[in-house]
Amino acid sequence: MTLKKNIATSEEGFVFNPGTGDSFSTNTIGGDIIALLKDNKSLKEISEIICKKYDVDKDQFEKDLDDFESQLKDYAIID
For residue range 12-44, list pLDDT tens digits in order: 889 999 999 999 999 999 999 999 999 999 999
Q: What DSSP character marks residue 3?
A: B
First-last CA distance in the chain: 6
Answer yes or no: is 3 within a domain. no
Three-class SS of residue 57?
coil
pTM above 0.85, yes or no: yes
Whole-number pLDDT of residue 79? 85
Mean pLDDT of the chain: 93
Is residue 2 assigned to a domain?
no
Q: Is residue 1 included in any domain, yes or no?
A: no
| Range of the structural domain that residue 23 is part of | 8-74
Number of domains in the chain: 1
Once rounded to an integer, what is the mean pLDDT over residues 44-63? 95
Residues 6+ apart with CB under 8 A from 30: 13, 68
